[in-house]
Amino acid sequence: MEPIRRFHNATQHETDESALQVWWQTFGDAVLNRFVEACLKQNAELSLASLRVAEACVGLTRTLEDMATQPDCLKAWSLFHSLRVRLVAATARTYVDVLALQERLLCADLAIRHQSGLLQYGRAPTTDRAFDANHSAQAADLPELHLHRVRLQGERDAALAGLAWLVGEPLDLVLARIDGRLLPPPISAIPAPGTPDSLELRRPDLLATALQSGSQQSQDVHQARVDAIRHEQAFDRAVCEVERALAVLTAAIGESRPARAAALSAGNRASALVQKMRTGQPDHEAMLHANRLYHAHCDREIEVRARGYRALVDLYEALGAGWPAPIEAAEA
């Protein structure tokens, strides 16, 4: 008996197939749930794919065995469910991008406010030319912060527009639902992805190619071999996608704690310098540097959290999660 194959970096626990069908609900985010539901109901591309299934499968019972006898029906069915998986993942991924950019915008606003206040504090009358030159050099950081904020604002607005298209809702309504929301705490655990063999019955593209190959018993040997190679290539690519997502997610989880610790350490350093200033021992240059370093670490920590959530979404997409796959949990 051959040993059970496992994904690299994956847990040894079996995955919950019923949870994979509605995986976005595991985040416990009501706004995300609403967006995904809107995407499934209102996305124009998905609606068109559904109509193509209805057209190609007229008179069929829509069972896998029945559809396997009609290549056009099976192809339309596979494209519809594969599109569904991609659109659900794209909605969740874009939602994560918006939340991350909104939090980074907040961080940038705080950095600008703090840096402006420190620069204003340092503008005390002085005849020290060296101090004036240093003050001018430090002031040059402020335009860079403003430029960074403008760039983040543009990226946030672009992500919002993409999310509005995905869910089929007006941009102002999407903005009202998502405005002010921030990323949740970092991911601390990797969901069980099951085994590579379970992909054959979970991913609609792999399942369709397997059914099509199995239904063409009378085809010539050459074509049968070509179909078998294509199916093997698709399977290997699917496994690679899962492995890649697991590797990125593992790295993001491992990086989250040091990134948070670095931000806290930089914050403590900035706070200590503020306390020193209040006792009449100001170190203006050190305070400006500490403030700049603190907000840079905060921005990086947000990016690490966002990368973890994107990798988690990529993992669910690679697993073919997001549709009612014809597989029981015991078979995974």
Inform me whether the pLDDT recorded for 140 exceeds 80: no
Scored b (16 or more CB within 10 A) or e, 122-155 reads beeeeeeeeeeeebeebeebbeebeebbeebeeb
Cα–Cα distance measured from residue 36 to residue 38, given in angstroms and rounded to the nearest whole number:
5
Inform me whether the pLDDT recorded for 332 exceeds 80: no
Q: Alpha helices of the chain — where are they, by DSSP H?
A: 17-21, 30-42, 44-56, 64-67, 71-121, 129-139, 141-167, 171-178, 199-202, 204-215, 221-278, 284-318
Inform me whether the pLDDT recorded for 147 exceeds 80: yes
DSSP-assigned letters across all residues of 102-139? HHHHHHHHHHHHHHHHHHHHT------HHHHHHHHHHH
Instruction: Please compute the mean of the pLDDT values over residues 166-180 and round it to a whole number.
Output: 93
Inform me whether the pLDDT recorded for 133 exceeds 50: no
With bands split at pLDDT 50, 70 and 90, how would you rate the model's confidence at 216?
A: low
Alpha carbon separation from 74 to 55, 109, 215 (Å, rounded): 12, 52, 11
26-75 pLDDT tens trace? 999 999 999 999 999 999 999 999 999 999 888 877 677 778 788 888 89
Highest mean pLDDT among 126-135, 269-278, 318-327: 318-327
Quickly tell me which residue has 């093997």 as its tokens: 232
Contact 309, 89 (CB under 8 A): no
Sign of CA dihedral 19, 329, 230, 213: negative
Rounded to the nearest integer, the mean pLDDT of the chain is 85
Cα–Cα distance measured from residue 257 to residue 263, given in angstroms and rounded to the nearest whole number:
10
Inform me whether the pLDDT recorded for 82 exceeds 90: yes
Inform me whether the pLDDT recorded for 198 exceeds 70: yes
Cα–Cα distance measured from residue 89 to residue 83, given in angstroms and rounded to the nearest whole number:
10
Inform me whether the pLDDT recorded for 83 exceeds 60: yes
Least confident residue range of 178-182, 208-212, 306-310: 208-212
- Residue 6: what pLDDT? 78
Instruction: Please compute the mean of the pLDDT values over residues 3-31 and round it to a whole number.
Output: 81
With bands split at pLDDT 50, 70 and 90, how would you rate the model's confidence at 4?
A: low
With bands split at pLDDT 50, 70 and 90, how would you rate the model's confidence at 180?
A: confident
Q: Which has more pLDDT, 34 or 271?
A: 34
Contact 152, 299 (CB under 8 A): no
Inform me whether the pLDDT recorded for 310 exceeds 70: yes
What tokens does 289 get? 């540097």
Inform me whether the pLDDT recorded for 79 exceeds 90: yes
Cα–Cα distance measured from residue 288 to residue 114, given in angstroms and rounded to the nearest whole number:
9
- Residue 191: what pLDDT? 87
**In angstroms, how far apart are the furthest CA atoms of the chain?**
95
Amino acid at 56: A
Inform me whether the pLDDT recorded for 230 exceeds 80: yes
